[in-house]
């Protein structure tokens, strides 16, 4: 699993046993990143604060940030932290990983330990859970002295066994408890967990009296003093109400109606609040403050802030006299002025006191609301406990503080406030606050929960005060640490009680202690945060393995079914995930209980009959499940954790129905529950990890658990009874069910039935259930023996879907039936065969696989063997080909009805879509729906290949054979197996492709390989030859028989400029695009022969000394660009450099289509000459000067160009050696946008004519001339110069001389120094960016020369010798700051007045600079120049030293990381032609462009 490192914090769950890899996200690539984790090193214990650095792995053997990773082998479950730092910042981000053990086989039953009796009796009482797996106890530590207040979660002495568990005359210790737990494990195969309580202790704990600092008392928490005063006043109000002293005011002891509630409010407002004057704790004693102020003024000292009294005494607040003296300044020191000033202060303090009074009155109003709300619940509400009259046992409201003294008057009690030895024993009780932030401690200063009476209080607990660490309360931390160690020593797991209000740092510390004792401790918790995000904080920080969830939270059967789907498993028919996949955020693992001990009894809220079906729904969940003791016995009330004093019944298999002290199989739903628990564990053990929930009708839920390897299913149909059938009329017509496949057996059918054994009567000694109901159950019976099913008919939905129709007769409310279902025998066999053939690609498919008895011939060989016969041109057909390419062959890309057309007809078209569907198991996607509905897409994939010849047809036949098996399995499984077949085929094809490429690709990173696929994407052979024929004497030229003419013809690979716009017909091949892309996509990838063929094919079209831009198969070529010839020459040079014996290309014969400028196209082979002669002709013609008018000039070849634009000129400037040409009406370089808008009057006007000497052409020509000089010196090129006519004379121009002239002229002409006195600067007034290189020299519009564009970087790469390193670095720095975008380079300086970064070719308005996309090269960010910019940076950085080079490498990696991200996410798996400003998507751009891919690949090659 991969976790992408970005500058962000996320939370993840990882399965135990997996390898977790950390990889760099785009924002971190190119930066020095170190990953730290506290996951323990091998053999070492976990220490939360011990972090170690993970080492980076480099799969390609190179320091490539796109591929490198560091990893962890996750062998220990728990929560671990990681963080990462960049550069000098130690922590830039981080998060938690929770290593999740496999938990969905767990079944649990929870018990109140006080109801188990003496330890000797426990086995007989726990035996009820023997069939249910795991057992949980509430705390077993010593509870309160009085059984009356013994409640779940309350501990008096955490370090001793509860004396209630010890028979008289016996002496039991923790060793005895541990022995019992171990006995249960060994003999019953049952583990035990227990509650741990860190947030509070029992109010009568002896140790809390001895160490009151461990709680929140009035000494260490004086902010609670006002709340304590209110609490005591409310207690005295209770005594007076109980005595009838408020009856005259309408408030009797027995509160029964709204008028009594209003009377409570009146008494509080008129009597209680005025008596205790709480506001005085927050006010200033005005006269004392004024007197102090007067004395200071009289003494002449200078300086109003109110300071809250930290001890919260009445009128204890003080005034900050410095602020008072600054605020109230007397006119003079005269007594009358001082008195006047004191009067101002007196008034201000009175106002502030009134403000405090108002605030306290608001608190009191809220307190009154909470008090009344509490009274309503406890005494009036139907769902409340109906406590009856107010008395001392059942006070008006629960007390918030302990009061360990004899009764006294309120006045006497208030005097204790100032006696610390007494007030330290007034300890705050614990509880919970509705809707509160669980990460906030409501007892700390700043909280008014106790004052506002917002706490739902547990009156027999004391909230514990830990502080920030052990140093704040040493005794408490030591005591609880010992308690934790005892628990972890004797139990297999713990439930964190009240987890959401336990301070996180306390729980972290204690769980670390526990795990040190028991490393595999199972930690569960119930959280009431109300927020999944907050849940995740607790889960990750504490390493909680399971969060308790409850079916009782569902209001109807639909919601109950949704919870099953929510809490575990993947959908039926889910996709097989790749072994290496991104780690996705997840929800915490659930422990799904039908009911917990905290909540109301389901029988009270629903009906007794619902217990069984709801239990079945829970048991079908793919997670840990469980119940609470009493649920299965149909106890019709909540077993109160506070007040229950009775014991659980013991186990006796023969227990009579009416027995209260014993239970057996026929008690309640026990027999059904045991069968369900066995089924739950079987499903988990056998890998039934897929879940489907079907809401059949309002009351019936059908849940399917499916095994993805054997395709066995279990379908449980549960008819819930949320309403009592005795009072609610259920529909007698139960809809039939259609179950796909063959029903092997009825695993169980069970109904809750009335057995007429009397009615429920609550027993005094035992927690007894309802005797009137039992379960009628049959297990493992044939379908025909079922009493629930009326009939079952087999129907067929096509050849692959066999369905059994089930009609029910006794699926009454409270019934459950579970079927074991397999595929029909033929489908089962064929899916096994399919898995057999898929197992050659992954061992995941071995389980459930079956060998084929009569395998088709095509399947007898491994697919890799078939793929090994494919050429890269074949792989272009297999993997790619966009719609227009396919249409040439009479086909097209597949259209998904109601959705969209796939980007490619080849596998990549589907793989791009499936890559988005697969991780999320988006089985509702239109592609999945299409696959389930019919075979159209399936047949399309194989048939388009079968219809071709040779190895491609064999691959098509292989796919067809696999699909033939697949078509016979149920349609719901088609998407996952279709994906499995395609993934296998695709990955095998990629392996085959890389084996045909260079070692640079084979040994390269994933990024390199992704880019190299662009070579296959762009290079293909269409139905019609795109290239003119080569000489028949050239070896290794591919041939085929033309399907139309039947004639043998060459079928050389051609290179598309971009998809989808430049992919087919005459618009596929462009000279400039081809030769900018050829080095990256063909030479670096090892496609040398195909690159040679393209070079020679274009050489054959040379005319006027130029290579065509639009090739048009040579016959429709346009010779309207000045740069294509020089890109072609650069590629010949690159070929000679990269290819072994590459210089031999110079001797290859070129068949000339146009041996003279004006001839008609010649037949192949008619005129042939070696390539070096063609090169010589091109150089000679430029030195001579080229000038001609395009053939067929006019609208026929260009409907927008003006007449002057059809005149083409190019020549070598004798003064500088620069190639110069063009005019202001044409555009002969790559920036070739011609105006098209009549409305804006830009039609026929080039946006960027770049006439004169374009900087990149000067660089390319320098590179070419330098190269031929070197070739001649080696005897590889026969010419050292050429004769030309100049000024009426024939002169010889030496290439060496031309080379020197270019070297000497370049910087003088192109460098923009910004110095107004620079003698080389002809137009200093036009300079608006200094320290750059001009874009051109000698343009007809002089200002154009000075525009900042990215073209000079091209010259830097091909002819770096022209540049001085320091100047080059300055210019590159300006380009980086001004032109570099997220993916591309701005084509114009954003400071330029005509800059516009958004390209809209459809816009036609009156804006000259924008209409009809006129700004194509005036700002939009093109990708291919980025490659040259980065290569130039790398080259010159190396010249400037190792430090600069290291920084540049980091920059390059960081920039390219964005390209890698785009490449991975693009459905085209390519890089676009351009983006709008700041990397925004441009819909008019080609989605994938050859030169974009090529130039980025060249950067990686340079790295």
Detail the DSSP E strand segments found in 130-176: 134-137, 141-142, 157-161
Q: What is the DSSP letter of 427?
A: P
Q: How many CB atoms lie within 10 A of CB 692?
A: 18
Check 121, 124, 322, 598 and give the catalytic one.
Answer: 598
Element (H, E) at 650: strand 650-651
The residues near 62 (Cβ < 8 Å, ≥ 6 apart) are: 1004, 1005, 1503
Task: Reduce the secondary structure of 921-948 to three states and give it as a string.
Answer: CCCCCHHHHHHHHCCHHHHHHHHHHHCC
Find out whether the peptide bond into 1362 is cis, omega within 30 degrees of 0: no
The residues near 334 (Cβ < 8 Å, ≥ 6 apart) are: none
3-state helix, strand, coil in the chain (%, to 5): 40, 20, 45
- What angle do helix axes 1424-1439 and 1442-1465 make, rounded to 10 degrees? 160
Contact, 135 vs 191, CB < 8 A?
A: yes
Structural tokens at position 1070: 């462009």
Judge whether 558 counts as a catalytic residue: no
CA 753 to CA 1331: how far, in whole Å? Answer: 93
In angstroms, the first-to-last Cα distance of the chain is 28
The residues near 885 (Cβ < 8 Å, ≥ 6 apart) are: 905, 1020, 1022, 1056, 1063, 1064
Check 497, 610, 852, 874 and give the catalytic one.
Answer: 497
The residues near 287 (Cβ < 8 Å, ≥ 6 apart) are: 346
Residue from 275, 315, 310 nearest 414 by CA: 275
Judge whether 763 counts as a catalytic residue: no
Structural tokens at position 1041: 């028989």
For residue 1043, count CB atoms less than 10 angstroms from its CB and return exposed for 0-12, middle for 13-18, buried for 19 or more.
Answer: exposed
For residue 1087, count CB atoms less than 10 angstroms from its CB and return exposed for 0-12, middle for 13-18, buried for 19 or more.
Answer: buried
Helix (H) and strand (E) counts in the chain: 41, 56
User: Distances from the Cα of 85 to the Cαs of 11, 56, 67, 91, 601, in angstroms?
Assistant: 18, 14, 19, 4, 52
Structural tokens at position 386: 């109906």
Q: What is the DSSP letter of 1234?
A: B
Residue from 276, 377, 292 nearest 328 by CA: 292
Q: How many CB atoms lie within 10 A of CB 1272?
A: 17
Query: Residue 753's beta-bridge partner residues?
Result: 774
SS3 1235: coil
Going by DSSP bridges, is the β-strand pair 11-15/89-100 parallel, antiparallel, or unpaired? Answer: parallel
User: Distances from the Cα of 73 to the Cαs of 22, 54, 632, 1176, in angstroms?
Assistant: 12, 12, 42, 63
The residues near 686 (Cβ < 8 Å, ≥ 6 apart) are: 707, 710, 712
Q: How many residues does the chain have?
A: 1503
SS3 405: coil
Q: What is the DSSP letter of 504?
A: H
Judge whether 500 counts as a catalytic residue: yes
Check 141, 492, 500, 1138 and give the catalytic one.
Answer: 500
How far is Cα of residue 838 from the mean position of the Cα atoms in its chain? 29
Query: Residue 318's beta-bridge partner residues?
Result: 307
Catalytic positions: 497, 500, 598
């Amino acid at each position: 699993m991969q976790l992408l490192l970005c500058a962000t914090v996320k939370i993840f769950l990882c399965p135990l046993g997996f390898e977790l890899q950390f990889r760099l996200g785009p924002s971190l690539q190119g930066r020095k990143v170190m990953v730290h984790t506290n996951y323990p090193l091998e053999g070492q214990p976990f220490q939360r604060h011990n972090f170690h650095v993970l080492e980076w792995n480099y799969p390609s053997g190179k320091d490539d940030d796109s591929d490198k990773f560091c990893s962890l082998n996750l062998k220990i479950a728990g929560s671990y932290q990681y963080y990462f730092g960049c550069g000098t910042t130690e922590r830039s981000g981080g998060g938690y990983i929770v290593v999740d053990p496999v938990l969905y086989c767990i079944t649990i039953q929870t018990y109140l330990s006080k109801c188990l009796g003496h330890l000797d009796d426990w086995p007989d009482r726990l035996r009820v859970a023997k069939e249910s797996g795991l057992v949980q106890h509430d705390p077993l530590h010593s509870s309160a002295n009085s059984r009356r207040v013994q409640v779940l979660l309350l501990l008096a002495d955490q370090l001793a066994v509860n004396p209630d568990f010890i028979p008289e005359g016996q002496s039991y210790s923790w060793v005895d408890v541990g022995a019992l737990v171990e006995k249960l494990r060994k003999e019953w195969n049952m583990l035990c967990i227990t509650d741990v309580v860190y947030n509070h202790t029992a109010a009568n704990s002896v140790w809390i009296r001895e160490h009151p600092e461990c709680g929140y008392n009035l000494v260490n928490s004086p902010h609670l003093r006002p709340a304590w005063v209110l609490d005591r006043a409310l207690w005295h109000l209770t005594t007076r109400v109980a005595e009838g002293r408020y009856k005259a005011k309408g408030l009797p002891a027995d509160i029964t109606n709204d008028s009594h509630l209003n009377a409570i409010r009146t008494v509080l407002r008129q009597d209680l609040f005025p008596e205790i004057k709480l506001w005085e704790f927050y006010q200033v004693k005005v006269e004392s403050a004024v007197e102090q102020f007067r004395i200071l003024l009289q003494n002449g000292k200078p300086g109003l802030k109110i300071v809250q009294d930290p001890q919260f005494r009445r009128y204890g607040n003080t005034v900050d006299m410095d602020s008072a003296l600054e605020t109230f300044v007397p006119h003079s020191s005269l007594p009358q002025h001082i008195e006047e000033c004191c009067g101002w202060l007196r008034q201000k303090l009175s106002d502030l006191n009134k403000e405090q009074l108002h605030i306290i009155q608001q608190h009191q109003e809220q307190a009154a609301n909470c008090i009344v709300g509490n009274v309503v619940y406890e005494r009036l509400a139907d769902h409340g406990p109906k406590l009856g009259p107010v008395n001392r046992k059942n006070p008006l409201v629960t007390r918030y503080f302990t009061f360990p003294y004899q009764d006294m008057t309120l006045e006497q009690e208030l005097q204790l406030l100032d006696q610390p030895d007494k007030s330290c024993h007034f300890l705050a009780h614990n509880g919970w606050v509705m809707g509160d932030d669980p990460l906030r401690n409501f007892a700390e200063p700043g909280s008014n929960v106790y004052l506002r009476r917002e706490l739902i209080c547990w009156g027999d607990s004391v909230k514990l005060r830990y502080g920030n660490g052990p140093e704040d309360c040493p005794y408490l931390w030591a005591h609880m640490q010992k308690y934790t160690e005892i628990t972890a020593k004797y139990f297999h797991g713990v439930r964190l009680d009240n987890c959401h209000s336990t301070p996180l740092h306390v729980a972290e510390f204690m769980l670390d202690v526990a795990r040190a004792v028991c490393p595999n401790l199972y930690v569960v918790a119930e959280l009431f945060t109300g927020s999944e995000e907050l849940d995740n904080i607790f889960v990750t920080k504490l390493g909680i393995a399971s969060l308790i969830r409850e079916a009782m939270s569902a209001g109807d059967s639909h919601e109950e079914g949704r919870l099953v789907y929510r809490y575990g498993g993947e959908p039926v028919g889910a996709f097989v995930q790749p072994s290496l996949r991104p780690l996705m955020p997840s929800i915490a693992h659930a422990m799904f209980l039908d009911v917990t001990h905290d909540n109301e009894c389901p029988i009270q809220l629903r009906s007794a009959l619902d217990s069984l079906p709801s239990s079945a729904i829970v048991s079908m969940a793919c997670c840990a499940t469980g119940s609470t003791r009493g649920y299965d016995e149909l106890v019709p009330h909540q077993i109160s954790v506070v007040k229950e004093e009775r014991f659980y019944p013991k186990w006796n298999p023969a227990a009579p129905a009416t027995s209260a002290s014993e239970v057996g199989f026929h008690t309640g739903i026990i027999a059904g529950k045991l069968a369900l628990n066995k089924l739950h564990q079987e499903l988990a053990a056998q890998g039934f990890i897929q879940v489907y929930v079907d809401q059949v009708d309002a009351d019936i839920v059908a849940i399917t658990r499916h095994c993805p390897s054997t395709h066995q299913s279990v379908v449980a149909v549960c008819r819930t009874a949320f309403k009592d059938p005795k009072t609610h009329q259920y529909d007698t017509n139960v809809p039939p069910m259609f179950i796909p496949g063959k029903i092997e057996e009825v695993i169980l059918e069970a109904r809750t039935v009335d057995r007429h054994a009397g009615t429920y009567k609550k027993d005094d000694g035992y927690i007894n259930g309802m005797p009137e109901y039992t379960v009628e159950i049959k297990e493992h019976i044939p379908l025909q023996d079922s009493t629930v099913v009326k009939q079952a008919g087999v129907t067929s939905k096509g050849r692959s879907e066999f369905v059994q129709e089930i009609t029910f007769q006794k699926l009454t409310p409270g019934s459950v039936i579970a079927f074991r279902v397999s595929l029909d025998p033929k489908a089962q066999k064929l899916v096994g065969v399919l898995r057999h053939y898929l197992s050659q690609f992954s061992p995941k498919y071995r389980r459930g696989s079956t060998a084929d008895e009569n395998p088709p011939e095509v399947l007898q060989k491994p697919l890799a063997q078939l793929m090994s016969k494919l050429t890269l041109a074949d792989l272009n057909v297999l993997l790619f080909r966009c719609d227009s390419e396919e249409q040439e062959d009479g086909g097209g890309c597949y259209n998904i009805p109601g959705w969209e057309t796939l980007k490619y007809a080849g596998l990549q078209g589907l793989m791009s879509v499936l890559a988005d569907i697969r991780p999320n198991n988006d089985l509702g996607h239109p592609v999945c729906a299409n696959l389930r509905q019919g075979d159209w897409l399936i047949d399309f994939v194989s048939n388009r290949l079968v219809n071709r010849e040779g190895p491609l047809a064999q691959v098509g036949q292989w796919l067809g054979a696999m699909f033939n098996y697949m078509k016979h399995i149920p349609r719901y499984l088609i998407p996952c197996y279709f994906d499995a077949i395609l993934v296998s085929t695709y990955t095998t094809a990629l392996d085959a492709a890389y084996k045909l490429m260079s070692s640079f690709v084979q040994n390269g990173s994933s990024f390199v390989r992704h880019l190299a696929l662009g070579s296959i994407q762009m290079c293909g052979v269409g139905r019609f030859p795109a290239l003119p024929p080569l000489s028949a004497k050239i070896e290794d030229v591919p041939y085929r028989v033309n399907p139309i003419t039947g004639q043998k013809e060459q079928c050389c690979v051609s290179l598309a400029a971009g998809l989808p716009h430049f992919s087919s017909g005459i618009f596929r091949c462009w000279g400039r695009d081809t030769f900018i892309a050829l080095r990256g996509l063909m030479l670096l990838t090892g496609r040398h022969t195909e690159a040679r063929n393209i070079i020679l094919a274009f050489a054959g079209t040379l005319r006027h000394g130029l290579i065509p831009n639009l090739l048009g198969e040579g016959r429709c070529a346009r010779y309207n660009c000045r740069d294509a010839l020089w890109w072609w020459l650069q590629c010949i040079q690159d070929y000679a450099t990269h290819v072994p014996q590459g210089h031999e290309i110079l001797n290859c014969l070129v068949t000339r289509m146009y041996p003279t400028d004006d001839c008609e196209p010649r037949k192949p082979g008619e005129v042939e000459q070696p390539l070096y002669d063609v090169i010589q002709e091109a150089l000679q013609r430029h030195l001579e000067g080229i000038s001609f008018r395009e053939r067929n000039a006019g609208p026929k070849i260009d409907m927008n160009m003006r007449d002057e634009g059809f005149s083409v000129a190019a020549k070598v400037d004798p003064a500088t050696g620069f190639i110069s040409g063009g005019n202001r009406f044409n555009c002969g370089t790559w920036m070739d946008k011609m105006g098209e808008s009549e409305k804006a009057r830009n039609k026929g006007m080039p946006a960027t004519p770049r006439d004169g000497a374009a900087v990149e052409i000067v660089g390319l020509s320098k590179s070419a001339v330098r190269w031929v000089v070197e070739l001649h010196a080696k005897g590889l090129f026969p010419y050292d110069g050429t004769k030309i006519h100049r000024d009426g004379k024939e002169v010889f121009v030496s290439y060496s001389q031309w080379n020197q002239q270019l070297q000497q002229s370049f910087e003088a002409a192109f460098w923009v120094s910004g110095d107004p006195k620079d003698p080389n600067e002809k137009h200093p007034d036009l300079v608006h960016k200094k320290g750059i290189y001009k874009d051109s020299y000698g343009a007809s519009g002089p200002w154009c020369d000075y525009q900042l564009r990215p073209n000079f970087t091209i010259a830097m790469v091909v002819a770096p010798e022209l540049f001085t390193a320091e100047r080059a670095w300055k210019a590159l720095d300006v380009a980086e700051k001004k032109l570099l975008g997220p993916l591309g380079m701005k084509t114009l300086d954003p400071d330029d007045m005509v800059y516009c970064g958004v390209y809209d070719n459809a816009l036609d308005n009156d804006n000259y600079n924008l209409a009809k996309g006129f700004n194509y090269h005036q700002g939009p960010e093109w990708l291919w120049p980025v490659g040259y910019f980065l290569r130039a940076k790398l080259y010159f950085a190396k010249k400037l030293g190792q430090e600069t080079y290291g920084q540049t490498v980091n920059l390059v990696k960081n920039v390219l990381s964005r390209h890698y991200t785009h490449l991975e996410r693009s459905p085209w798996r390519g890089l676009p032609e351009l983006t709008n400003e700041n990397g925004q998507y441009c819909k008019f751009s080609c989605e994938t462009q050859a030169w974009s891919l090529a130039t980025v690949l060249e950067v990686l090659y340079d790295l």
